[in-house]
Amino acid sequence: MKIYSIKKSSIKEVKTKPFRLEKDIQNLVEKNLGEFFEYELIKSEFVLGGFRIDSLCYDKHNKSVVIIEYKKGKSYSVIDQGFSYLSNILENKSDIILEIQDVFGRRLKKNEFDWSSTKVIFISPSFSTYQKESINFQDLPIELYEITQFENNSIGLNEIVSRSSSPSIKEVSKDEKIKKVSREVRVHTEEEHLQGRKDKSSYIPKTSDETKELYFQYKNAILNTFDNVKVRFNKYEVVFQSRKPFLYFYLGKDIIKIWFNMKKGTLDDSKKICRDVSAVGHWGTGDYELNVSSDENFEYIMSLVRQSYELHLK
């Protein structure tokens, strides 16, 4: 995609500016980690089990560890390297916990870690077609982002999204390392949120047909109304994200809980249908919670969604 600047109704193409070193990409991302991903940097160049991790990060919302690797070349396998990093993390949990506790300055509780949400992110100016195709699995804990630097001091960061119809990597791979990681690391899906999940550490119910229909009514309206919205699936939430997450859904059996990612006092809710959860624990991010069990107030609720969406475009 070409980028143009406008001056007095005339346009001029903004040329790209190559990164000189991988370290230049790393410095840029680490200094702006909260803006790019809302992660916290634990340590740069972290040595663990014979691997040097470029950026060891903590995702406070998902209570998980995130590894970020920066690349300039294309002669490597994102699958092989990604699962090697994941396996290394899972084999050295205690070292990771000690490092994060040292940064936070306190002991961490057991419920502040969810190892099943561990993932690896590769950031590069470009990926090969083979690398992009290699992540086409619905449960792959590996993400690719292409980063572009422009001469007008602008930065572009674009996620390479896998196909929604892709198979599970567990169904097609016989690699023991992949099998081992897949037993512990879990990439959550829309089907799981709709059909329910019950395991040792978590439970979500199967949605009723009415709730499922209501969910798709909202999902389709959001995707058709607002530009560049991505849908992600956390352990307990469906996340709607533009530049940043702006809306969270929890799909119950007969109800949908919605959290608007807005601080107390910033949402114009004239009907007063949202609950203030700024002082209580809750899933999602934001101070406004709403329970929805029918399409009553649908248009009004979409107007609240718009407020949160537009806030996170700024």
pLDDT digits (tens, 9 = 90+) for 127-156: 999 999 999 887 899 999 999 999 999 999
Residues 194 and 168 in one domain: no
Residues 169 and 202 in one domain: no
Residues 111 and 133 in one domain: yes
Residues 47 and 178 in one domain: yes
Of the candidates 235, 253, 255, 234, the residue with the CA atom closest to the CA atom of residue 245: 234
Residues 26 and 163 in one domain: yes
Phi, psi of 75 (to 5 degrees): -90, 60
Q: Which of 155, 184, 213 represents a domain boundary (last residue)?
A: 184
92's tokens: 């050295």
Strand partners, 65: 58
Residues 170 and 241 in one domain: no
For 61-140, strand residue ranges (E) read 64-70, 119-124
Q: Identify the helix (H) or strand (E) that includes residue 95.
A: helix 93-104
Residues 166 and 197 in one domain: no
Hey, how many other C-beta atoms are within 10 angstroms of the C-beta on 268?
8
Question: Could you identify the residue written with the tokens 């196909």?
Answer: 163
Gap between the Cα atoms of 235 and 157, Å rounded: 25
Residues 126 and 26 in one domain: yes
Residues 151 and 295 in one domain: no
Q: What sign for the dihedral angle of Cα 250, 281, 43, 146?
A: positive
Looking at residue 18, its amino acid is P
For residue 227, what are the domain limits?
190-311
Gap between the Cα atoms of 113 and 306, Å rounded: 33
pLDDT digits (tens, 9 = 90+) for 81-136: 999 999 999 999 999 999 999 999 999 887 788 999 999 999 999 999 999 999 98
Could you tell me the CATH number of the domain that includes residue 79? 3.40.1350.10
Residues 24 and 150 in one domain: yes
Q: Are 263 and 277 in contact (CB under 8 A)?
A: no
Residues 100 and 234 in one domain: no
> What's the number of domains the chain is made of?
2
Residues 78 and 220 in one domain: no
pLDDT digits (tens, 9 = 90+) for 149-208: 999 999 999 999 877 667 778 777 778 888 889 888 988 889 999 999 887 777 889 999
Predicted structure pTM score = 0.86
Alpha helices in 136-208 (DSSP H): 169-172, 176-184, 190-195
